[in-house]
């Protein structure tokens, strides 16, 4: 019998192996470390987003659904009301189509020339930023005797991708002149939506509005105008237009350090492991590479199977939960293993659950707390969880 049973998931899929995963199986019998993704949370977060806007909801599921698993996340978001999916790369869009998702998909990032035909063939919408992109999309569509659906991206202040707003009308006209391309959308992206007071948000919106007015005046406005990411859904209501593109809030993670999501949003991801060794080490024993940590007294030291090869950063000050208490990770994190100081948990033994992100008893560690320790943002924490960590994705028993 394994102590400290982990939460039960039904209808779950082990994405890495596609093996069926039921509540009868404790993940510790099978995995050294794993991620649990609560699809009920994603579905509920999507529903809460739909209730906040009259615009359509695009679920942004790029980078393996911010580390949560793209396909299952997309399906849960659709059940919650998402009508579109956003990805960064052609391969990500094709993965969604291959899994049977038929809803509209937009590749938000640049699509290299050879990737265009498969995208057009599968009715996946493409982002264009200049006349070269437009010509390439037209060529791909002509060779298939089809039509490419494109969204024109405008750079209103992020200085990353997109045409100057002053070019919007001439590029839209060029698209309109081709029988092989149809202008489905026009969009931009905010650089500082997470800082509601930043004056650049209004300035970006003004530039976008000016470009839209020109498109309207020339009868070139496409049906899908979109600008807002998660933070802007809450802080820039004038930016909702026809669709909002939401990533981080869909996963129940905080879009800003300056305010919190409403209480109905729930984080969907937990990252767990188990103790694989527990020892009392005598005073003066070095632990981990460089024997960086040296025991002061006799100390209870545990080893668990997560390392920087899984995306657990080699930074000082990491903490994990064991038996419902925060305990310090000691010595440098290794590639596949880490050590933890267990003096406060004398009962801890091999097989005890270790929580890196998530809840255990009354204790919790959020992705935001991990990000703070690592000097980064919650996005990078969940996106950085390695692909070798199995995602156990499903609905917890309690949600059905
Ligand atoms: C173009 C674009 N739109 C929308 C999003 C979603 O942003 P968020 O996760 O802040 O909602 C992203 C994410 O990086 C993006 O690049």
Mean pLDDT, the chain, whole residue set: 93
> Does residue 248 line the site of ligand 1, with CB under 6 A?
yes
How far does the centroid of ligand 1 lie from the alpha carbon of residue 306, in Å? 29
Tell which one of 247, 253, 377 to mutate to probe ligand 1, the residue whose CB is within 8 A of the most ligand atoms. Answer: 247
* Domain limits, CATH 2.40.37.10, in the chain: 9-37+268-399
**Spatial separation of the C-alpha atoms in residues 382 and 99, rounded to whole Å:** 23
Pairing assessment for the beta strands 269-281 and 353-360 based on DSSP bridges: antiparallel
Give the CATH architecture of domain 83-249.
Alpha-Beta Barrel (3.20)
CATH architecture, domain defined by 9-37+268-399: Beta Barrel (2.40)
109-118, 164-173, 376-385: range with lowest mean pLDDT: 109-118
Give residue 282's pLDDT. 98
DSSP code, position 399: G
Model confidence band, residue 245 (pLDDT cutoffs 50, 70, 90): very high
Distance (angstroms) between ligand 1 centre and the Cα of 188 equals 10
Question: In this model, does residue 16 exceed pLDDT 70?
Answer: no
289 is catalytic: yes
Does the beta carbon of 162 sit less than 6 angstroms from any atom of ligand 1? no
CA torsion sign for 14, 332, 286, 283 is negative
d(CA 67, CA 302): 27
| Mutate which of 66, 190, 245, 248 for ligand 1 pocket (most atoms within 8 A of beta carbon) | 245
Q: What is the pLDDT at residue 20?
A: 33
pLDDT the model gives residue 228: 98
Q: Mean pLDDT throughout 363-369?
A: 98
Adjacent-strand bridge partners of 181: 148
Query: DSSP assignment of 34-103, as one string?
Result: EEEEEHHHHHHHHHHHHHT-SSEEEEE-HHHHHTT-HHHHHHHHHHTT--EEEESSHHHHHHHHHTT--S
Reference 390, options 2, 11, 17, 12; nearest CA is 17
Which residues make up the CATH 3.20.20.10 domain(s) of the chain? 83-249
**Does residue 60 have its Cβ closer than 6 Å to ligand 1?**
yes
Find the 108 Cα to ligand 1 centroid distance in Å. Answer: 9
Is residue 55's pLDDT more than 70? yes
pTM of the model: 0.94
Residue with the nearest Cα to atom 6 of ligand 1? Answer: 247
Distance, CA of 309 to CA of 37 (rounded, Å): 20
Is-catalytic flag, 316? Answer: no
> Distance from the CA of 250 to the center of ligand 1, in angstroms?
11
């Amino acid at each position: 019998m394994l102590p400290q049973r982990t939460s039960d998931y039904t209808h779950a899929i082990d994405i890495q192996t596609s093996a069926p995963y039921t509540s009868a199986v404790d993940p510790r019998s099978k995995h050294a470390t794993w991620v649990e993704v609560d699809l009920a949370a994603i579905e509920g977060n999507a529903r809460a987003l739909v209730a906040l806007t009259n615009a359509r909801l695009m679920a942004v599921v790029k980078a393996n659904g911010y580390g949560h698993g793209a396909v299952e996340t997309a399906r849960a978001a659709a059940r919650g009301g998402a009508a579109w999916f956003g990805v960064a790369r052609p391969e990500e869009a094709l993965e969604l189509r291959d899994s049977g998702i038929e809803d509209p998909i937009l590749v938000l990032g640049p699509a290299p020339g050879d990737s265009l035909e498969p995208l057009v063939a599968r009715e996946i919408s493409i982002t264009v930023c200049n006349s070269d992109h437009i010509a390439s999309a037209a060529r791909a569509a002509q060779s298939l005797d089809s039509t490419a659906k494109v969204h024109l991206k405008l750079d209103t202040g992020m200085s990353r991708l997109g045409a100057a707003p002053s070019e919007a009308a001439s590029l839209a006209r060029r698209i309109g002149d081709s029988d092989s391309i149809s202008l489905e959308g026009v969009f931009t992206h905010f650089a500082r939506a997470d800082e509601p007071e930043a004056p650049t948000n209004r300035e970006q919106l003004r530039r976008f509005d000016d470009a839209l007015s020109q498109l309207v005046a020339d009868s070139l406005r496409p049906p899908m105008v979109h600008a807002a990411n998660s933070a802007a859904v809450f802080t820039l209501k004038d930016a909702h237009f026809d669709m909002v593109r939401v990533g981080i809030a869909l996963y129940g993670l905080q879009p800003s350090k300056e305010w919190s999501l409403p209480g109905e949003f729930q984080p969907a991801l937990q990252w767990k492991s188990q103790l694989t060794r527990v020892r009392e080490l005598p005073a003066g024993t070095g632990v981990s590479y460089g024997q960086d940590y040296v025991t002061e007294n006799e100390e209870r030291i545990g080893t668990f199977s997560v390392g920087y090869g899984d995306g657990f950063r080699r930074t000082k000050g990491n903490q994990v939960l064991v038996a419902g208490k925060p305990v310090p990770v000691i010595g440098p994190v290794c590639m596949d293993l880490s050590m933890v100081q267990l003096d406060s948990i004398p009962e801890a033994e091999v097989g005890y659950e270790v929580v890196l992100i998530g809840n255990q008893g009354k204790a919790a560690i959020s992705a935001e707390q991990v990000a703070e320790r690592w000097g980064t943002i919650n996005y990078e924490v969940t996106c950085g969880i390695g692909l070798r960590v199995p995602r156990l994705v499903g609905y917890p028993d309690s949600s059905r």
